[in-house]
Amino acid sequence: MNTPNKLTLARVFITPIFLLCLLDSFTHHWLLAALIFISASITDAVDGRLARKLDQVTVFGQLADPLADKMLTTAALLAFLHFGLCGVWPVFLILMREFAVTSMRLIAAAQGAVIPANIFGKIKTAVQMSFTILILFWGELVERYGFLRLNFAQVCGVMMWITAGLAILSGVITMFKAKKVIDFTM
């Protein structure tokens, strides 16, 4: 297994540790969860670049990398729901997009084609990860210092709706691209 794929798998294994830290109530759990999330996000930024630079792009990497991203970001979404920081609808829309895009990728893979992540999906992922990091650091400030407690849930909700909008946009674009590589008559 090459290094980029090992980084992708590391993100999969880091995800439950991130969620465990975030949902626990020890001192600075928000901060530790933020640092873990950032570390996992860095593996996302590095694995694809490294794979292209070393000419080690694999079908496994093209399919596993977006799945690892979805596991990490879904863990954060579930925790935010648990804490009452976002509503069910933006989370549902984000996850609906993820299931639809992943399904299209699996269908394409079964037919010997690959639907790699496109720029719109990458922007959605970058925004979602950035918002998650902001929320995690803000959660630390709220819990430790009461900093901006009144606006915390409202701003988190807005960030989730922005992410949901980007998710739907990138999902629709991916579906149109999928129509070009998937034979729907099989």
pLDDT at 105 over 90: no
Per-residue pLDDT, 66: 80
pLDDT digits (tens, 9 = 90+) for 17-49: 999 999 999 999 999 999 999 999 998 889 888
Half-sphere exposure (Cβ direction) of 74: Cα atoms closer than 13 Å: 17
CATH number of 3-181: 1.20.120
More confident of the two residues 118 and 141 = 141
> Could you tell me if residue 146 is left (phi over 0), alpha (psi between -120 and 50 degrees) or otherwise beta?
left
Mean of the per-residue pLDDT values of the chain: 90
What is residue 24's predicted lDDT score, i.e. its pLDDT?
94
Residue 111 vs residue 90, higher pLDDT: 90
pLDDT given for residue 50 in this prediction = 87
φ/ψ bin of 24: left (φ > 0), alpha (ψ from -120 to 50), beta (otherwise) = beta
User: Which pTM value belongs to this model?
Assistant: 0.87
Sign of the four-CA dihedral 106, 111, 117, 119 = negative
Cβ neighbours of 11 (radius 10 Å): 23
Q: 41-87 pLDDT, tens per residue?
A: 998 889 888 888 988 888 788 778 888 988 999 999 999 999 999 99
